[in-house]
Chain A
């Protein structure tokens, strides 16, 4: 997201991006909204001798208003719930939290998103092996109408 702070009559532009660790504590992403954030490694499936090993990645907006910016390159949106054979690093995006305020509008979006990983293999039950929750918050208040 590239916020425009130059528009007139915007009184309160604020934005944060964080994720929760295993203890449920918020952690800040490294980076910023202008140049981007450093990806956080959230799951790793090591190679092994089990045959037909596959994983799936499912995303969901838990709360808030968010949408994925499909124009951002370098990220992979895996099919929701579709199992595939992992072969390389997959980068996921958290949905963008957007707020546009003009003419006395006030907008606050507090988006929580989950990314859930499942793994399965021949002879084994499907198992959730990690769940990741990210949060993006944006607030914009317009204090005039020009």
Chain B
């Protein structure tokens, strides 16, 4: 069994859209060895957005804050689950990354994202994600 003193887990959410609307999302949890093969980026004054393959949402960086560059970190193992978005929680709105932002739309999109998260995190499959991830790490 491999040993990890600094096990890092990260959760990614990727949207799948049908005719523009978000109809399902894929939740991926990934384990990393925080002491090895991790790459970071530092935010600058221009506030770049971080792009990750498994994440639809792009985090805007804050100057001098250090962030993991997940696409360039070596994963130990991962687990995924799919969540079908109920019609009431579907949206065609997307993230805005340039000024000026449509404030109302961005808050509405945020509300949808929170609703998805509140829903999938209470599913038994979500608990299984992490227990399976732990089992997979233990087996390495």
Contact = CB atoms under 8 A, between A and B. Distances in A.
Interface of A: 7, 59-68, 70, 77-82, 95, 100, 102-106, 108, 110, 141, 143-145
B9 interface: yes
Given A60-B134, A62-B134, A145 B60 contact: yes
Given A77-B5, A145-B99, A63 B127 contact: yes
A82 B4 CA distance: 11
Contacts of A105: 57, 59-60, 110
A69 B40 CA distance: 15
B9 A65 contact: yes
Interface in B55-69: 57, 59-62, 65, 67
B114 A106 contact: yes
Contacts of B127: 63
- The dominant DSSP class at the B interface is mixed
Contacts of B6: 67-68, 70, 77
Interface string B62-87: 10010100000000000000000000
Interface residues on B, range: 35 or more
A68 B35 CA distance: 10
Nearest to B95: A104
Contacts, number: 88
Interface string B17-36: 00000000000000000110
A63 B59 contact: no
B117 A104 contact: no
B7 A61 contact: yes
In the complex, the 3 A-B pairs of residues with the closest C-beta atoms, listed nearest first = A80-B3, A63-B130, A67-B8
Contact of B107 (A62, A66, A104): A104
Given A63-B130, A64-B130, A144-B103, A104 B62 contact: no
Contacts of A64: 9, 11, 130
Residue among A78, A79, A105 with most chain B CB within 10 A: A105
A106 B110 contact: yes
A102 B48 CA distance: 11
Nearest to B59: A105
A124 B108 CA distance: 61
A100 B61 CA distance: 9
B5 A79 contact: yes
B106 A145 contact: yes
A74 to B, nearest CB: 16
